[in-house]
Structure 1
Amino acid sequence: MNASHHGSRDGSWVALATHRDWLDAEAGRLLRFGAAARDPRGGFAWLDGDGVPDPARGVQLWITTRMAHVFALAHLRGVPGAGPLADHGLAALSGPLRDAEHGGWYPAIPVGDGPQEGRKEAYGHAFVLLAASSLALAGRPGAKGLLAEAAAVFERRFWDDERGWVRESFDRAWTEPEAYLGANANMHAVEAFLAAADATGDGVWRTRALRIAEFFVHQVARAQWWRVPEHFAPNGRILPDYNEDAKDDAFRPYGTTPGHSLEWARLLLNLEAALPDPPDWLADAARWLFVVAVGAAWNRDGRPGFVYTIDGEGRPVVRERMHWVVAEAIAAAAALHRRTGDLVYEHWYRVWWDYAAEHIVDTRHGSWHHELDPGNRPSSTVWSGKPDIYHAYQATLLPQLGLAPTAAAALRARLDGAS
């Protein structure tokens, strides 16, 4: 790796032991909140605003995988009790969430005695692959088998080698593909593929991650003034009016999502650092995605915070502020500062942590408010409760790590080096 890929850390909060102590304390607070999600049915429940499981929502695949990933990371950091919680998630992925008949994983454990329903989604399966990679690197029993199965399912069902992207979803028996291509699922596939490469040692996953980024960022976003369209037809044609009648959808909102541009920016730098001979466009694209997203979404209505979505003309559509966006902004700013040494990114890193501490971090009930209204008051237009600590936890961890390898591999190396 060329030294320039690491950048300078002069003047960085992350270089301060006191700041790292604060990040670690916040990470511990998030873990204590998340531990309450352990569900007797298997996996992890959806938590309400007070941290109480909501049994009516069932056990969601995306929550269980993210929590298993987080607790695997915490175990690698030496947090007592995190290993058993990671194992609880692993058991659900090997048991009630796994479709033993058709392969793959269900989107949820049904409530009561209801039937297993729902599509096999690339989004949830990407998190299965991510969680399995982290669990395997954490040395949890049975994780290597789960990782092998997750990789095989993704390779057989979701990866489109001809086009270089990930198919969106199928029915339970894998016979009916959805007539839709989503940037969000593909973005999280990049994250999962980088983790799988570290966990398996197979570099083909990094090559696939680059192919995804080449289409959605280098080809499409570059031509769209560095906004990443979210919705596509199966042939890759942009669908600008998709979900025009459901503008505030939690997973497929109308328009573009600046928070995803910030997430893409970080992932491009992770990808660059992981590749033996990365193309020059990765770092340039990360900078452009960052600056356009900040200009389009931050403080657009006279109050701090990121608006959730913008339209094709760059105008805010849904003005609510999501916790995950500020978490990804923090991680992107830290990554760009590490990569470039430019103190403008350190400035934003501090601004957004100050904003999170003032408005997002819930010191009374725990975790982070998942949504604020345009006046920065807690709301629930898009999200209710606090089902997810994944984004917030990674915001406390990723700034303390290098751009490569991925978090679990980096923590595994630290643990092995300390032994």
Structure 2
Amino acid sequence: MVEMLPSLMVPASSWLRSTPHHYWLEHQGLRLLDFSKASRLSVGFGPLDNKGLLVPHAQPDTTLTARTTHSYAIGGLRGVPGCLAVAEHGVQSLLGPLRDAEHGGWFGGLTNGRPTQEQTRKQNYLHAFVCLVGSTAVVAGLPGAAQLLELATAVWEKRFWSEEEGVFRESFSARWADEENYRGANSNMHSVEACMALADVTGDLIWRHRALRIVKRFIHDLAREADYVVREHYDRQWHYLPNYHQDKPADDLRPYGLTPGHFVEWAHLLLKLEAAFLREEGDAPAWLLTDSIALFEKGMSVGWSTNGKGGLLYTVDNDLVPVIENRPHWVQAEALTAAAALLKRTGHARYETWYRTIWDYIDLCMIDRKQGGWIQEVDADNQPSEVVYPGKADLYHAWQSTLTPLLPLSPSFATAARDLF
């Protein structure tokens, strides 16, 4: 089934149909790809500072390596010079020192050539991205891609997937013992993204149905019961942990409270999952659209411009009171991606307005025209800040936000980007 929703629904006056807007998106994407090439290390990729230089004594980070490799593989698919060579380096790093050859799976990174005790712990968040980049590398035809995908999916399915619960487990020790007493919405959200990519690339429908099971538990059951507030932190018995990380409110992966940016990120993923089921299987649960709309509305009402100065904030507490009012770049990127997806799916003018409003905010407050890249975080007054995210380490969210508006909701990102003229 060919997806016709974008061509049928998007108004002729939309920025999504505007040739100058397409050129602008392409230009911004190329700037980001050029800026982040400096993150390459002898093994994998490391974080950049605000000037686009590797931070002093930079060490390879495996999640960063996976996301950077994914981005450059797609850049290569789009015909951008240098990108495939950068992506090949990432694949070989993931097949080499960043992989635990003894016990399987991937280290969180290396410190002076070896993983620390903390880095040996096997994290679902990371392994979801290794699976994602494995599928992207296969689409791009990179050397070693098939091996990486096979290794990644085997360990992900065997060690992390919980058939009983219909979600992915969170983390284990290096030897796959000491399972963490935690079930997290964040790592499972990115698992949905990876599952959809695996379904498209491998042809195995089980991955798409696993994505649906994750979405049903975290969103259609838990979030819907909470008026579409996405609660992030649970224990293994599925008791909500309202005070989790109260002492670490600015944690970059598991902050205290609620993350409105995740509300809207889930909203986008639900529409992609709906489109994938419609495209490949001819039917999809009606609640995917209903829940997506409700998630976007809740996230924007809770977190957008709480002080009248624009932008979507980082976190609120369980009473929806702001905690970290800083505006991370990825939050804005996910909000505009969700607005674009809802516009494609519904044609409603309110999503065109949101799409333009969010891009205006990013353009004026986050695109760094002096030093390059995007400012990763601004404070409540829209001044550069580094409370949560120092430097400019992340290419993945910003780069995808410049290309996703041009893509159909299905197939998944790499496959759709390959087929985009």
The residue aligned with 1:323 is 329
Give the equivalent residue in structure 2 for 1:91. 92
Residue of structure 2 in register with 1:144 after alignment: 146
User: Which residue of structure 2 aligns with residue 179 of structure 1?
Assistant: 181
CA distance in structure 2 between the partners assigned to 1:395 and 1:339 by the alignment: 17
Counterpart mapping for 1:263-412 below 5 A? 263-275=265-277, 276=281, 277-412=283-418
Structure 1, unaligned runs of 5 or more: none
Q: Which residue of 1 aligns with 2:201?
A: 199
CA distance in 1, matches of 2:114, 2:418: 40
The equivalent residue for 1:69 is 70
Opposite residue 347 of structure 2, the aligned amino acid is: G
> Which position in structure 1 is the counterpart of 2:55?
54
The letter for the 1-side match of 2:16 is: V
Query: Partners of 1:114 and 1:144 in 2: how far apart?
Result: 25
Rounded Cα–Cα distance in structure 1 between residues aligned with 2:411 and 2:230: 25
- 2:227 matched to 1:225? yes
CA contact (8 A) 2:31 2:373 kept: yes
Within-5 A mapping of 1:105-116: 105-111=106-112, 115=116
Provide runs of 4+ in structure 1 moved above 6 Å: none
CA distance in 2, matches of 1:113, 1:107: 11
2:129·2:190 contact (CA, 8 Å) conserved in 1? yes
Asked if the contact 1:106/1:116 (under 8 Å) is kept, the reply is: no
- Give CA deviations for 1:297-352 in whole Å, capped at 9, x if unaligned: 00111211111101111111110110000000110000000000101101000001
Q: Is the 8 A contact 2:274 2:289 kept in 1?
A: yes
* Cα pair 2:138 2:146 within 8 Å, conserved: yes
Match of 1:90, SS state, is helix
Please list the CA deviations of residues 66-110 of structure 1 after superposition, one character each: whole Å capped at 9, or x if unmatched: 000000111111111110000010011000100000000000022
Partners of 2:406 and 2:5 in 1: how far apart?
Answer: 16
| Shift, 1:113, TM fit | 5.8
8 Å CA contact retained: 1:324, 1:391: yes
Corresponding residue SS for 2:57: helix
Q: Which amino acid aligns with 1:284?
A: T
The separation in 2 between residues aligned to 1:97 and 1:112, in whole angstroms, is 9
> Relative to 1, partners in 2 of residues 1:120 and 1:57: Cα closer, same or farther, differing over 3 Å?
farther
Unmatched tracts of structure 2, length 5 or more: none
Q: How far did 1:56 drift?
A: 3.4
Contact 1:110-1:116 at 8 Å conserved across structures: no
Conserved in 2, the CA contact under 8 Å of 1:372 and 1:378? Answer: yes
Task: In structure 2, give the amino acid aligned to 1:370.
Answer: Q
CA distance in 2, matches of 1:111, 1:246: 27
Judged with a 3 Å threshold, the aligned counterparts in structure 2 of structure 1 residues 114 and 148 are, in CA distance, closer, same or farther, namely closer
Assess if the C-alpha contact under 8 Å between 1:47 and 1:53 holds in 2: yes
Does structure 2 conserve the Cα–Cα contact (< 8 Å) formed by 1:133 and 1:196? yes
State the TM-score, normalizing by the size of structure 2: 0.96
Q: Does 1:213 align with 2:224?
A: no
Residue type of the alignment partner of 1:314: L
Distance in 2 between the 1:3 and 1:364 partners?
Answer: 40
- Equivalent residue of 1:357, what SS? helix
* Structure 2: distance between partners of 1:379 and 1:339: 35
The count of residues paired between Structure 1 and Structure 2 equals 414
Higher deviation after alignment, 101-110 or 53-62? 53-62
Q: Which moved more, 1:367-376 or 1:109-118?
A: 109-118
Cα RMSD, aligned residues only = 1.4
Distance 1:411 1:48, change over 3 A: same
Q: Tell me which amino acid in the other structure corresponds to 2:132.
A: L
Matches of 1:392 and 1:218, distance apart in 2 = 28
Are 1:263 and 1:328, in contact at CA under 8 Å, matched by a contact in 2? yes
The alignment's TM-score, normalised by the length of structure 1, stands at 0.96
CA contact (8 A) 1:109 1:116 kept: no
Once the two structures are aligned, what percentage of the paired residues are identical? 46
Q: 1:189 aligns to what?
A: 191
